[in-house]
């Protein structure tokens, strides 16, 4: 089996995890909630503008920073968004663990004095 076939198989297994299923479910909930969806889009847009300004060596406008903090505060009070953020964090942790297991599989056995398993 080629490495790409195994990667595709791994992807299929990841789709079966609770973390993936919960991320899909909460993502659908956000898409079905126009207010939550709009808040997320606005925060992402403002975040990009602020980061671009900072990367360009320009101080972001205070109005942008205030608007960003206000939106984040509103997002924190949304149960839909809170569930989505938790699901994203849980899925990201799963993917970090998978990447760590892959990295351990690349190391020669016994290199770190242990069997390389996850």
- Every domain of the chain and the residues it spans: 3-106
Given a cut of 90, whether residue 44 has pLDDT beyond it is: yes
- One DSSP character per residue, the chain reads --HHHHHHHHHHHHHTSHHHHHHHHHHHHHHT-HHHHHHHHHHHHHHHHHHHHHHTT-PPPHHHHHHHHHHHHHHHT-HHHHHHHHHHHHHHHHHHHHHHHHHHHHSPTTTTSS----
Q: Give the mean model confidence (pLDDT) for residues 31-52.
A: 94
In CATH, which superfamily holds the domain spanning 3-106? Answer: YheA/YmcA-like (1.20.1500.10)
Per-residue pLDDT tens over the stretch 62-112: 999 999 999 999 999 999 999 999 999 999 999 999 999 999 999 887 665
Q: Give the mean model confidence (pLDDT) for residues 2-21.
A: 97
């Amino acid at each position: 089996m080629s490495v790409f076939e195994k990667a595709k198989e791994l992807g299929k297994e990841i789709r079966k995890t609770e973390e993936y299923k919960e991320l899909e479910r909460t993502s659908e909930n956000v898409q079905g909630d126009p207010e939550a969806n709009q808040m997320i889009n606005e925060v992402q847009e403002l975040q990009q503008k602020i980061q671009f300004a900072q990367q360009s060596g320009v101080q972001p406008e205070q109005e942008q920073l205030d608007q960003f903090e206000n939106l984040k505060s509103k997002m924190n009070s949304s149960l839909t968004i809170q569930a989505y953020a938790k699901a994203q964090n849980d899925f990201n942790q799963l993917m970090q663990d998978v990447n760590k297991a892959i990295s351990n599989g690349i190391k020669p056995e016994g290199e770190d004095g242990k069997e390389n398993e996850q």
